Amino acid sequence: MGLRDGDVVIAAITSCTNTSNPSAMVAAGLLAQKATERGLTTKPWVKTTLNPGSKVVMEYLQRANLVVPLAELGFHLAGFGCATCVGMSGPLAARVETAIRADKLTCVAVLSGNRNFDGRIHPLVRASYLASPPLVIAYALAGTFNIDLTQEPLGSDTQGTPVYLRDIWPTNDEIARVSGAVVTADLFLRNNATMLQGDNRWQQLRTRATTLFPWRPESTYLRRPPYFEGVPDAPLAPRDLVGLRPLAILGDSISTDHLSPSGVIPPESAAGRYLVGHQVATSDFNSYSTRRGNHEVAMRATLANTRLRNAMVPGSEGSLTRLQPEGEVMAIFDAAMAYRARGTSLIIVAGRNYGCGSSRDWAAKGVHLLGVRAVVAESFEHTHRANLAGMGVLPLQVLGVHVSDLQLDGSEEFDVSGIDAAIAPGTQLRLHVRRANQPTRTVPVVARLDTPREVEYYRQGGVLPLVYREVLGRRPS
């Protein structure tokens, strides 16, 4: 097969984003039609899928006679809604996976979705790019990202003549003419009228009318979370954090997908081992995102991105850390549980722009449930910073120093001093870095509780204990 770095192995017209644009979808269909007329075909190593966000898309493509040319290029309807953009592309062909592993190739996914975070689209695909639906088809025809589509041909026609993208790209007039003829209001009105009815399987579900949700202990999808277990009637007074062990020391631009991935669940991961232990077949694992209703899975998913690089385990990728003081390398979840058994609280240290990417509450919930009490970073993405405060995790921004200047290796212990009942937005605190047989280094940090409301969340131990006390009338006046 001769697979090389830069070759496209996934080409997916997917998600609710670009597929909600009729002009873009009609353009993709017209490009496919012109490509098939010239005899072009998708390269054999490219996995192609079509997952529009709405059933209306297939109806207007059918009206325009564009479904068949899309299918001829491998863009068959695989379903509706989230798929490749949430990491559910499915497996690659066995020979493709073997080649990627054997030669350590950097292959490419091109998708018309709205997310391409590190390690999200497929565990073996190291580069992912977002593109319009017609460009997804163009790269499937080329089979490689190492191409200048404005200068190099996509392939050759049946006569051996080179075919360039400009030769088959539909004009704006063509797109407007077809869209105007096939995209009509009745399609949307008819589909919207029945959208909430569901199919026969949904309609046949039997439920009971109960005041409280009937939790099923055996469920691996929905489990009662532990947020309100052991919540005291009144919050404890804020106090210094002492003896924190680092769970991870991370670099810049750690995204919410690093902190709480959305893609497939590897069988060897902590979440995979949990599901196997509950007699779930690997074919039924589904994804991290679809199992976030089970905190046991979501906790094990925390910091479980296959591309995570923890400086505590140099040269490695994935959900690994060192249990201290032993220095034993193990899964992040397993280490967190070991620290919990010892009564040791945790800290995460990172560089700039911590928590970037799409907002995801589990990126804060997960670290909270693992026992993380504070996150120290050079800067925070604003929504994730607020989410940390909302979970009672203290976001701390270092002042006048880069995290890399601290030369941390993970064997350190950390204290945060200056926390008391007077903590307020922007309070300056002190981070003490303690190393064996070395002087303690003290670094100024600012508590990134940016509003009085966030301070109140932190005082209460998070927004959930606060609401719990309000509902039960236990919140102090």
Q: What are the boundaries of each domain within the chain?
A: 8-194, 241-472
pTM: 0.88
Task: Give the chain's end-to-end CA distance (angstroms, integer).
Answer: 71
Residue 474 has a pLDDT of 62
**Polymer length in residues for the chain:** 477
Does the pLDDT value for residue 16 go beyond 80? no
Q: What is the pLDDT of residues 160-214, one digit of tens each?
A: 999 999 999 999 999 999 999 999 999 999 988 888 888 889 889 888 888 888 8
CA atoms within 13 A on the CB side of 391: 25
Tell me which of 127 and 118 has the higher pLDDT: 127
Radius of gyration of the chain (CA): 26
Residues of the chain with pLDDT > 90, as a percent, come to 79
Residue 1 has a pLDDT of 63
Confidence of residue 15 (pLDDT cuts 50, 70, 90): confident
Does the pLDDT value for residue 475 go beyond 70? no
Q: What is the pLDDT of residues 328-373, one digit of tens each?
A: 999 999 999 999 999 999 999 999 999 998 878 999 999 999 999 9
Residue 119 has a pLDDT of 78
* Region for 327 from its dihedrals, namely left if φ exceeds 0, alpha if ψ lies in -120 to 50, beta otherwise: left
CATH superfamily of 8-194: Aconitase, domain 3 (3.30.499.10)
Q: What is the pLDDT of residues 43-81, one digit of tens each?
A: 999 999 999 988 899 999 999 999 999 999 999 999 888
Confidence of residue 379 (pLDDT cuts 50, 70, 90): very high
C-alpha 247/C-alpha 347 separation (Å) is: 6
- Of the candidate CATH numbers 3.40.50.1100, 3.40.50.720, 3.60.21.10, 3.20.19.10, the domain formed by 241-472 belongs to 3.20.19.10
C-alpha 213/C-alpha 48 separation (Å) is: 41
C-alpha pair distances (Å), 196 with each of 81, 202, 203, 286, 290: 15, 10, 10, 24, 20
Residue 208 has a pLDDT of 83
Q: Which two tokens stand for residue 261?
A: 């991935």
C-alpha 340/C-alpha 36 separation (Å) is: 60
- Mean pLDDT of the region 461-465: 94
**28 exposure class (CB count in 10 Å sphere: 0-12, 13-18, 19+):** buried
Residues 6+ apart with CB under 8 A from 228: 464, 465, 468
Residue 142 has a pLDDT of 97
The reply to whether 8-194 and 241-472 are identical in fold is no
Q: What is the pLDDT of residues 273-326, one digit of tens each?
A: 999 999 999 999 988 989 999 999 999 999 999 999 999 999 999 999 999 999
Confidence of residue 262 (pLDDT cuts 50, 70, 90): confident
C-alpha 43/C-alpha 91 separation (Å) is: 17
